[in-house]
Amino acid sequence: MAFWSLVESEDSLHELLESSVVKPVLILKHSYRCALSSMAKSRIEKNEDSRLEYHLIDVVKDREISNRLSDLFSVSHESPQAFLVKDSKLIEVKSHLAIKPHGFSVLLDSFAGQ
């Protein structure tokens, strides 16, 4: 199962974005109250890619951090929502049923050797 590192402060959000220079990160904006969000989280866990670090923002508990992430990349807030970040840049963002873990792996493949 994927190891989820919780993002619970704006400082930790900025640190993980900076760390994406070393290893790409997948950030899931997740609501424990939403069945669709739980399904997206489960699909990601079942298709873990060792090239990624996995981070989770609880959109209910940490609404400000969730909104800050959206603001940083000029993306409308949705939940569930998955952000693929590499070199501190947003590579892809997907929400709801469009969150397909294999899609993130394919994107990483396209960066291989760069």
Strands (E), the chain: 4-6, 25-30, 53-58, 81-86, 89-95
Q: How do residues 104-114 score in pLDDT, each as one tens digit?
A: 888 888 877 55
Helix (H), strand (E) at residue 68: helix 63-72
Please give the single-letter amino acid code of residue 51: R
Res 30 pLDDT > 70: yes
- Over residues 2-25, the mean pLDDT reads 94
- Over residues 20-30, the mean pLDDT reads 96
Report how far residue 97's alpha carbon sits from residue 14's, in angstroms, rounded to the nearest whole number: 27
pLDDT mean across residues, the chain: 92
Asked: is 4-111 a CATH 3.40.50.300 domain? The reply is no
SS3 35: helix
**What are the domain boundaries of the chain?**
4-111
Q: How do residues 53-105 score in pLDDT, each as one tens digit?
A: 999 999 999 999 999 999 999 999 999 999 999 999 999 999 998 998 788 88
Res 16 pLDDT > 50: yes
DSSP3 helix / strand / coil % (the chain, rounded to 5): 40, 25, 35
Q: Backbone phi, then psi, for 14, in 5-degree steps?
A: -65, -40
